[in-house]
Structure 1
Amino acid sequence: MPKTLLRAASAVLLTLTALNIPPAYADEAVAVTVNARAALATVPATGIGANHAIWDSYLGTDDTADRLKDAGVQVLRYPGGSYSDIYHWADHTAPGGYVAPGTDFDTFMRGARRTGAQPMVTANYGTATAQEAADWVRHANVTKNYGVKYWEIGNENYGNGHYGAAWEADNHADKSPAEYARNVVAYSNAMKAVDPTIKIGAVLTTPANWPDGIVAGGDDGTWNKVVLSIAGSKIDFVILHWYPGAYDKAAHIPDMIQLTRRQIAAHAGPGSERIGIAMTEFNTGTSGAGENTQPGALAAADAYATLLAGGVFTVNWWNTHNGIGTPRQVEGHTDYGDFGLLSNASCTADGSACEPAVNTPFAPYYALQMMSRFARPGDQFVKAATGQAKVAAHAVRRPNGDLAVMLINTSADTAYPVTIGYAGFGPAAGAPTVLTHVNGATSITSSTAGSATSQTLPPLSLTTVVVRPATAPAGLPGAPGQPTATAVTDTTATISWPAATPGTRPIVKYEVHRQNGAITEQLGETGGTSLAVGNLRPGTRYTVNVIARDSGGGVSWSSPPLTFTTGTPAASSCTVRLTDQTNWGSGYVGSIDITNNGAPINDWTLDFTWPRTWQNLDGGWNATWTQTGSAVKVVASGPIATGATTNIGFVGSYSGPNVLPSVFTLNGTICTTQ
């Protein structure tokens, strides 16, 4: 083990000994790369959220509010999940459900203010009216002057039976997405007539989560397409819920966000870029698998960081208090199968097991607390990556020039030494501030340990390293504004951006950098505010940043990220059209039309690649289909005359966001994809 790691390793050894875990160390250090020039989203003031529920008798207590404040919770959602669609705020009733004493709206608001959190209210769509929602806005923001900004219309309204499963109350005779959307328009008009400053959210299905992709009888498209097409002009954000049921699904998040944004852009009409994305319910696991113990905490931190880095403006944990499930031992500690952040001291039906005292924090509580200390409002996420699947990394750059790196070790038995390399940032010498939460701990510890480039991560741990720059930045240019892409083809695009504000020296050029993992590749530079870039790959998603450089070599912060996708050739000897014929949420029937725009073809081979590892070919027809790795080959004998079209089909399956293949080659030639 390198000498620079001995001090941190000793601390890890003591921790492991205290937990009676035999210490084990990886033979080689994990390489962590942090690129301060590969900027992602700015940390919002609403990022860390949690749900409150009117059946929770501890909702209004000062101790609950103070616990949430200590965790850094910035948004509190009310009145709680599917209860939202049976709850009537004026008389504080929920026919068919239980309403605990001391959980009315005004009590909720008192607690939210004590926590210092913004409220998010879910208006009753299922069993109420637009007028009732408007009256709630009037009570909240006119009568009481609470200033409630965020208002959702309903909860999981696609669960009203329209797709075959019914758990969400819905008294409307028409339960289609079109009817929901028409009511969203009515609710928005009525509520904004009372307070035009509020933000209205509409419920969408989450990519690759039921019933996403399904078109029910009589509908003009999927739930999301119909809702956005009708109500897009009347909403300010969309609502996703995500219960991945496993602890290794953070890799799904970038595609989840990108597909949602693509749907918004395609269907919500002009000005759709204003529409934000809120994850108003999120929890990592499945009952009894580690909701309350360290695996759930590590997955929570990883998902929160990935969602916020992708531009989601709030992530709300389900739930503050929830209740005991099926207790079991997970990684040396009792897991109660409780989806809450805090214990509500409930017991199993047979009394054989009880949770600890009320408001005892569970492990995910410390994940939210670590997130609030790692990524503060106004910080900017930057790219970070590791060379070890068991170790995840996230990083933010702070306005004062500091860099914070959060490292997550998901291994249950191995302490990983890590070496951290930086691009676009020079760390100061000396030991940095290190925040750590380990398996079973009841607090986050703070120490000064290791170095900016060397740390050791205990098993099942969250570690945040706060590093100061070697040289305090001064007089540098401001960051360029949000870039845009125009004239995007299969191999070229024009990137433009608002000019940066000069520092003490004039700006001499701008550089456009492409993110490739945690590495950036410079695509070009210019003295102006627009650059035509070439040599791009067809059908490829690019994320780029722009930086300004002054006459003394000083470099600005990166611009916000721009993501765009190249197309395929505008003209080719072949054209391919792929359509999703029938979708059931985990698979679909795909139909491919191949048109020959060139000379007659006899035998032919069509090649394409699945964009993601979680996509597979289950079978095909009208040709011979094979899959090797993620590459699919389709071979057929028979002519395709000039101008003729032939059809082939397949069944595909997926276990994550289903990004469809977009680049097809016919006998080695890239086709135009329609």
Structure 2
Amino acid sequence: MRRLRSPCPSPPSLRRLAGAVGLAAAGLVPVIATPASAATSVDVSVDASRSLASIPSTAVGMNVAVYDGYMNDSPVPGLLKAAGIGAVRYPGGSYADIYHWKTNTTDGGYVAPNTDFDAYMGTVRAAGAQPIVIANYGSGTPQEAADWVRYANVTKGYNARYWEIGNEVYGNGEYGASWENDTHSSKSATTYAQNLLEYATAMKAADPTVKIGAVLTTPGSWPDGITGPGDGADWNHTVMSIAGSKIDFVVVHWYPGGDNAADLLTKPQSQIATITATLRSLIDQYAGANAPNVGIAVTETNSTIDKDTHPAALFAPDAYLTWLENGAFNVDWWNLHNGASGTTTVNGATDYGDEGVLSNASGDEPPAETPFAPYYGIQMMTRLGAPGDTLVPATSGRSLLTVHAVKRSNGDVDLLFVNKDPSNAYTANLSYSGFTPSPAAPTVYTYAQNATSITSATAGSATSQTIPAYSLVVVQLHPGGGGGGGSTCKVGYTKNEWAGGLTAGVAVTNTGTSAVNGWTLAFAFPGDTKVTSAWNATVAQSGTAVTAKNTSYNAAIAPGASASFGFQGTWTSDDAVPAAFTLNGRACTTG
């Protein structure tokens, strides 16, 4: 028996809850490709000297659900690993609020065989990923959730760090629409926040290292801004005012939709920065001194238009990377398997209306575990970067050609192009700051429209690349001769670690020909390291981003000389070494 979980609702036409048979395709206008004309030139600039964010190990996530009989199929761990999936969310959207982990049962729902928590963890571990778990708020208790934490991390040693309290709890009828199970007598945001505190207290008593996530409404989407009965403000302000200082991350879901595929593909650039800025403002307003440590997780997203064909493949990496560039630490696609909900033809390809990235052989779908187009879109990100690498700014002169850039820990700079134009190729004329590319032809990976694999070739140059119409292209660039693409600094980072703590020493060497008079070293932690004290520098931290400024006695660094400082810190699950450093805004080599 297959159960679908449809996206979160957004008026005026509310989408259905878990168990609904899917969304109608009426009103969606397909993009029709026309023969390509000669490539149009577009100026693209990359600034490798600046850091937007470090790629976390939890960055690229995927949802799974207990009603999915293919969840733990033998090919799944390999497919997850090949797509670079670093986090897997369980037990499945709205099912979380009816699911009881001890008995592997739901209140009125279907649970497929071999989908219990231990089976799920076997797949997660085999894929080299981390678990993200939704505690049952709808019909569960703080004690049930605390027992789950204790079993997972104390009894079994699964190191499950990230726990959401409920799914889309605001869909419990408080604002009129009801798709989320909630057996509490009061459905208000106030009640949720008060209970959230009870969950957090009980769960952290079982394991103080767990991270607790609060469910918020997506800023700008229903029911954001609406004050419900019994509350003095809307959901987000109410929840954060009560619980903001006690949580570790906030959770939103993002199903942008659109009038058609072309409209959908504008949404990452038009919406995400505004959403994250609003969330960060809420966090800063209510989380107090802990605000820099409170993360943003987007634990469900999907194109919802042309769901398993090429438009969704273009949307997926653009969405993930834009969220990460704007500060999210986790983005989870809905869903691993979901099921056919009506067949249409999109640009010559069959779309099954399946929000999963892998077939479950329902309806007219191909054999189970056959990857759909969004799978390859997500997989293209593995060619761009890895956890610990640094997202850096990149801009394009055309809105239909989006570009994302990563500085690798080895000094390489890789670019991912998203050509959203179904008719035209674009020739990117590339320029760089803080990086001098090798003159050799780069390696280029391409996922073309309606393709069933990613191809690679040595093509173009570091200054000119042609991006085919409606394609994803990754260009991998090595630095030129002369050490790190024109860098005039080198950073050495050493650490002495123990469970939950570390000390680190940082040496900054001036490899240029002019003296440095006053310096600021910037870097980002890939994991959850927190600086608690420092010496020989003034160190400040905001989230994962760190700056270290000289003291009065080590401001000058002569050519060939070094300045050193150190710090002590704490960590919970990951104290990985920063991948990239900048000195006064210019990229440094490492080693």
Fold match, TM over 0.5? yes
Q: Does 1:272 align with 2:291?
A: yes
Q: Does the aligned pair in 1 maintain the 2:403–2:415 contact within 8 Å? A: yes
How many Å apart are 1:504 and its aligned residue?
Answer: 5.0
Question: What is the aligned counterpart of 1:508 among 505, 511, 517?
Answer: 517
Q: Counterpart in 2 of 1:225?
A: 237
Q: Does the aligned pair in 1 maintain the 2:149–2:207 contact within 8 Å? A: yes
Q: Counterpart in 2 of 1:425?
A: 435
What secondary structure, in the 3-state scheme, does the structure 2 residue paired with 1:37 have? Answer: coil
Distance (Å, rounded) in 2 between the aligned partners of 1:262 and 1:167:
29
* Letter in structure 1 aligned against 2:336: T
Q: Does 1:116 align with 2:125?
A: no
Please give the per-residue CA displacement for 1:250-299, whole angstroms capped at 9, x wherever unaligned. Answer: 121111111100011112233221110111001123xxx31111111111
Aligned length: 492
* Letter in structure 2 aligned against 1:341: V
Distance (Å, rounded) in 1 between the aligned partners of 2:59 and 2:353:
25
Q: Does 1:314 align with 2:326?
A: no
With normalisation by structure 1, the TM-score equals 0.69
What secondary structure, in the 3-state scheme, does the structure 2 residue paired with 1:233 have? Answer: coil
Q: Counterpart in 2 of 1:70?
A: 82
* Letter in structure 2 aligned against 1:210: W
What secondary structure, in the 3-state scheme, does the structure 2 residue paired with 1:218 have? Answer: coil
How many Å apart are 1:61 and its aligned residue?
Answer: 1.2
Flag the 1:422–1:204 CA change in 2: closer, same or farther, 3 A. Answer: same
Q: Does 1:24 align with 2:37?
A: yes
Distance (Å, rounded) in 1 between the aligned partners of 2:546 and 2:212:
31
Question: What is the aligned counterpart of 2:347 among 324, 331, 338?
Answer: 331
Q: Counterpart in 1 of 2:146?
A: 134
Distance (Å, rounded) in 1 between the aligned partners of 2:287 and 2:549:
32
Q: Does the aligned pair in 2 maintain the 1:431–1:452 contact within 8 Å? A: yes
What secondary structure, in the 3-state scheme, does the structure 2 residue paired with 1:224 have? Answer: helix
Question: What is the aligned counterpart of 1:437 among 444, 447, 453?
Answer: 447
* Letter in structure 2 aligned against 1:271: N
What secondary structure, in the 3-state scheme, does the structure 1 residue paired with 2:444 have? Answer: strand
Distance (Å, rounded) in 1 between the aligned partners of 2:70 and 2:241:
41
What secondary structure, in the 3-state scheme, does the structure 2 residue paired with 1:128 have? Answer: coil
Larger Rg: 1
Question: What is the aligned counterpart of 1:476 among 489, 493, 502?
Answer: 489
Question: What is the aligned counterpart of 1:105 among 103, 117, 141?
Answer: 117
Q: Does 1:192 align with 2:173?
A: no
What secondary structure, in the 3-state scheme, does the structure 1 residue paired with 2:79 have? Answer: helix
Aligned 1:490-501 pairs, distance under 5 A = 501=507
Distance (Å, rounded) in 2 between the aligned partners of 1:41 and 1:208:
24
Distance (Å, rounded) in 2 between the aligned partners of 1:418 and 1:372:
22
Q: Counterpart in 2 of 1:81?
A: 93
Q: Does the aligned pair in 2 maintain the 1:39–1:545 contact within 8 Å? A: no
Unaligned stretches of 5+ residues in structure 2? 1-32, 258-263, 494-504, 523-536, 540-544, 551-555, 563-579, 586-591
How many Å apart are 1:546 and its aligned residue?
Answer: 9.5
Flag the 1:560–1:248 CA change in 2: closer, same or farther, 3 A. Answer: farther
Question: What is the aligned counterpart of 1:399 among 409, 414, 430?
Answer: 409
Aligned 1:455-474 pairs, distance under 5 A = 455-471=465-481, 472-473=483-484
Question: What is the aligned counterpart of 1:384 among 386, 389, 394?
Answer: 394
Question: What is the aligned counterpart of 2:267 among 249, 257, 264?
Answer: 249
* Letter in structure 1 aligned against 2:292: E
Q: Does the aligned pair in 2 maintain the 1:42–1:311 contact within 8 Å? A: no
Please give the per-residue CA displacement for 1:121-153, whole angstroms capped at 9, x wherever unaligned. Answer: 100000010000111111111221111111111
Q: Does the aligned pair in 1 maintain the 2:521–2:584 contact within 8 Å? A: no
| Percent identity over paired residues | 49
Please give the per-residue CA displacement for 1:58-94, whole angstroms capped at 9, x wherever unaligned. Answer: 0111112221111111000000000000000011111
With normalisation by structure 2, the TM-score equals 0.78
Q: Counterpart in 2 of 1:302?
A: 318
Question: What is the aligned counterpart of 1:293 among 294, 306, 309?
Answer: 309
Flag the 1:231–1:544 CA change in 2: closer, same or farther, 3 A. Answer: closer
Q: Does the aligned pair in 1 maintain the 2:63–2:336 contact within 8 Å? A: yes
Flag the 1:479–1:408 CA change in 2: closer, same or farther, 3 A. Answer: farther
How many Å apart are 1:500 and its aligned residue?
Answer: 7.5
Q: Does the aligned pair in 2 maintain the 1:510–1:529 contact within 8 Å? A: no
Q: Counterpart in 2 of 1:356?
A: 366
Q: Counterpart in 2 of 1:146?
A: 158
* Letter in structure 2 aligned against 1:408: V
* Letter in structure 2 aligned against 1:425: F
Flag the 1:322–1:427 CA change in 2: closer, same or farther, 3 A. Answer: same
Q: Does the aligned pair in 1 maintain the 2:429–2:463 contact within 8 Å? A: yes
- What RMSD, in angstroms, separates the aligned Cα atoms of the two structures? 2.9
Distance (Å, rounded) in 2 between the aligned partners of 1:234 and 1:270:
11
Unaligned stretches of 5+ residues in structure 1? 1-19, 348-353, 481-498, 514-527, 531-542, 562-674
Distance (Å, rounded) in 2 between the aligned partners of 1:174 and 1:265:
28
Q: Counterpart in 1 of 2:63?
A: 51
Aligned 1:508-547 pairs, distance under 5 A = 508-510=517-519
* Letter in structure 2 aligned against 1:411: D
Distance (Å, rounded) in 2 between the aligned partners of 1:104 and 1:237:
26
Q: Counterpart in 2 of 1:450?
A: 460
How many Å apart are 1:550 and its aligned residue?
Answer: 5.7
Distance (Å, rounded) in 1 between the aligned partners of 2:45 and 2:120:
43
What secondary structure, in the 3-state scheme, does the structure 1 residue paired with 2:371 have? Answer: coil
Flag the 1:296–1:232 CA change in 2: closer, same or farther, 3 A. Answer: same
Q: Does the aligned pair in 2 maintain the 1:545–1:558 contact within 8 Å? A: no
How many Å apart are 1:501 and its aligned residue?
Answer: 4.0
What secondary structure, in the 3-state scheme, does the structure 1 residue paired with 2:423 have? Answer: coil
Please give the per-residue CA displacement for 1:324-369, whole angstroms capped at 9, x wherever unaligned. Answer: 122111122111111111011111xxxxxx0111011011101111
Q: Counterpart in 2 of 1:523?
A: none
Q: Does 1:258 align with 2:277?
A: yes
Flag the 1:544–1:23 CA change in 2: closer, same or farther, 3 A. Answer: farther
Q: Does 1:240 align with 2:264?
A: no
Flag the 1:504–1:133 CA change in 2: closer, same or farther, 3 A. Answer: same
Q: Counterpart in 2 of 1:412?
A: 422
* Letter in structure 2 aligned against 1:508: N
